[in-house]
Chains A and B, each alone.
Chain A
Amino acid sequence: MRIIFIIILCILPILLTGCWDQHLLVNRTLVNGISFDVTEEGKINGSVRALSIQSKGGGQFDIYDELVSAERPTPVGLALDIDSRIAGEIDTSKAFVVIIGEELAKKGIHPFIEIFYRNMNSYMSSKIIISKGKATEILSVEKEKSPIAFVILQLLNGTEADMVIPKETTFTVWKKMLDPGEDMILPYVERVESNKVEVAGVALVNDDQYTGITLSREKSSILMLLMDQLSKKNRMALTMGSEGKGRAISFATRDLRRNLEVLVDKDNKITCKIDVKMNVEVGSYTQDLSKRLNIKKLNKDLSDELTKQAKEITDILLQANCDALGIGRRISSFHPELWKKINWNEEYQNVQFEPNVKVNIIKTGNVF
């Protein structure tokens, strides 16, 4: 009896030695950036920037960065093509950035991101960005220096902290693409000086289609304020009055309170009141030294200027048909009857925005 037991014990471990789901790091090619473009013939071009790790033996590894691309009529199967051109198994579990070309983004980005939701191994916190011109051009920056995706990632993290672009990842974009009551804005990057990547502002997206309209960096910071997104280390620069003789001021927002009210009157006319109250700290201000700084007046000037610009921005939002402030969601929650009646995509054009920004300077830094 005892011997049989021991024999069984010896046989059992043999069954345990097999493992189907093992992934060795040396066999993998880690993709850290992906780009999608549409070619002139209307095909989809997908490129990846991948790190391939090769063992030199003795625990030493060689790391290469390579750019591989493939073309297909649809995004489906691009991964297979790319896989066959890369040594080792393709691994998108750490693809930090997904760049989508301007032209392609106008046709809709959902089919390209859907791949990431369905696949269990993919990374859900990648940054989704729209590029000016071809996305491949962004991805192919500094081919020798690797890996570019991390540079772009840091760039995005930095601008997020400066409150220029929203914190959007694959995960958060999913919700906004499918939600009819809210649209998203995505970071808009361009290649400058042939070898640098710059965040040019934000791209306005309607459902999942890029509208072709962008906001500059200065304007997108104000949009962030209207969207009630405050980051810790934000800074803003503003020119008041007409160009040339206007005064420039830069400030950091310390406290932000936004009140968004959606009103529907008897004729189903939708008015959106946005009240923003912010406490700011002056960073730099070229003042007339002969006069004492009149904070009251400065408060008023700043408020007026920001209100004016906010109005411009909401007009652009209407023009782009991009419901970045989630007005539709409010209507569907608080006026469900109206929501069922209207086609929001058309009705959004008729929304009346009334932004009002109130600035209160709480600190002026080291000098008065």
Chain B
Amino acid sequence: MMEKNISITKYQLFFFMIQSQTGLGLLSLPNVVQKTAKGDGWISTLIAGVAVQIMLVIYWQLLKRFPNLIYTEITQKILGRFLGKFLNLFIYLNFIFVGGLATILFIKIINLWLLPITPGWIISILILTACIYLTISDLRMIARFFVLATSLILLLLFTSFLSWFTPKEIQYILPIGSSGFKNILLGTNNSLLAMLGFEGLLFLFPFIIDNKKGVLKTISMANIFIATFYTFFVFLTLISFSSDQLAQMREPILNLLRGITYIMVDRVDLIFLSIWIVPMSTSIIAYLFLASKSMNVDKKNYPKVVLLNGFIIFSITLIPHNDAIITLFNKYVTYLSYAVVFIIPTLLLILSFLFKKHESSESA
């Protein structure tokens, strides 16, 4: 399994996790979270970070038992060929649909903010061509690119500091905890969706150099980074906008930057969005990669599979872009994601404990 151009270091793993998690979700996150949690939205994202950490520990326990297998091979190992393959179909569909959904939302944002008249399919082709090109070059190239692209996330941090000069009102988040525990948890549920992408670990683990120790530390660091990053931005938007105002905004983060103005530079949001295209694409690249990996094909057929999946995602983006259809699609994909990301790995871990299965044991 340890092929030369496919193995990655832990350092690269850290950036891979960050890049596959951040992107589209962040732009609309404050709006989604405040729907239920109101001014306590920032607590929701923190709790979401804790939930992701628990999942990462579960993944770690599972992967330790099968250090040389990826997710879709583990399912077959534990559940047998037939049931395993059946589950793998769902895992594959999840990645394809999430990838498709990400691309649709991406096109929607570009259409809304940057290029209102350009047809969606053109944007779709342009994005997906670049994504397919990178995904074909396999894991190590992707990881290297992700390391580079992370510098753009730092740029967002820098831009957000500029927004401190627009009026802020800390009282919008007071009194802390006023939304009630239930609403905060509902907000957590919504912010978990923006944090999806960490399930990539299930496919990356066998390719990490020296994966016996230290991996949990790396992924925990990545998770802490993401949780802090998200909480910071939710907090920043919460103190910048009143909750009635947030409820009206599709992409609060962009609106936050829209208020910044200088004599020489204006519309920081549009400048920022043009740069943010890269981190948004990295999520699509990650999902395209995971979908292709989940088909369990050998190395020779991998490029063909990536092309095929890229084409499928392109076809998904051709469905009409109206709000109702996208919301519906989003809802079903969310259910699928919960199953694939949270439920199946937990069940697999429990089963592997019960049947005392690990990699060296006989295949069922």
Give the B-binding residues of A (Cβ under 8 A).
20-21, 93, 117, 120, 123-125, 169, 171-172, 174-175, 178-179, 326, 329-330, 332-334, 336
Contacts and interface: CB of A to CB of B under 8 A. Distances in A.
Given A20-B117, A20-B119, A174 B171 contact: no
28 contacts: A20-B115, A20-B118, A20-B119, A21-B114, A21-B115, A21-B117, A21-B118, A93-B267, A120-B112, A124-B258, A125-B261, A125-B266, A171-B166, A171-B258, A171-B259, A172-B166, A174-B245, A175-B167, A175-B240, A175-B241, A178-B242, A178-B244, A178-B245, A178-B248, A179-B244, A332-B171, A334-B174, A336-B178
Contact of B259 (A125, A179, A333): A125
Contacts of B242: 175, 178-179
Contacts of A172: 166-167, 259
B86 interface: no
Contacts of B117: 20-21
Contacts of B258: 124, 171
Contacts of B241: 175
B116 A120 contact: yes
A123 B169 CA distance: 23
Contacts of B119: 20
Contacts of A123: 266
Given A125-B261, A333-B175, A334-B174, 16 more contacts: A20-B117, A20-B118, A21-B118, A93-B267, A120-B113, A169-B259, A171-B166, A171-B258, A171-B259, A174-B245, A175-B240, A175-B245, A178-B242, A178-B245, A179-B245, A336-B175
A343 to B, nearest CB: 17
B40 to A, nearest CB: 12
Interface of B: 112-119, 122, 166-167, 169, 171, 174-175, 178, 240-242, 244-245, 248, 258-259, 261, 266-267
A149 B178 CA distance: 45
Nearest to B122: A20
Instruction: Give the residue among B118, B119, B166, B259 with the most A Cβ atoms within 10 A.
Output: B259
5 nearest A-B pairs in the assembled complex, by CB-CB distance: A333-B174, A171-B259, A178-B244, A125-B261, A20-B117
Instruction: Give the residue among A93, A123, A124, A332 with the most B Cβ atoms within 10 A.
Output: A124
Describe A's contact surface by its main secondary structure.
helix
A329 B245 contact: no
A174 B166 CA distance: 13
Contacts of B248: 117, 178
A117 B250 CA distance: 11
Contacts of A332: 171
Given A175-B242, A333-B174, A336-B175, A21 B169 contact: no
A45 B258 CA distance: 28
Given A175-B241, A178-B242, A179-B244, A329 B171 contact: yes
B118 A124 contact: no
A178 B169 CA distance: 14
B171 A333 contact: yes
A219 B282 CA distance: 56
B171 A21 contact: no
A11 to B, nearest CB: 15
Contacts of A125: 259, 261, 266
A179 B239 CA distance: 13
B344 to A, nearest CB: 41
A332 B241 CA distance: 16
A124 B167 CA distance: 14
A51 B240 CA distance: 34
Nearest to A125: B261
A172 B241 CA distance: 9
A174 B171 CA distance: 17
Nearest to B118: A20
Contacts of B240: 175
A175 B131 CA distance: 39
A330 B175 CA distance: 10
Instruction: Give the residue among A169, A172, A178, A329 with the most B Cβ atoms within 10 A.
Output: A178
Nearest to B244: A178
B132 to A, nearest CB: 15
Nearest to A167: B167
Contacts of A20: 115, 117-119, 122
A175 B116 CA distance: 27
A177 B212 CA distance: 57
B174 A124 contact: no
Contacts of A21: 114-118
Contacts of A117: 248
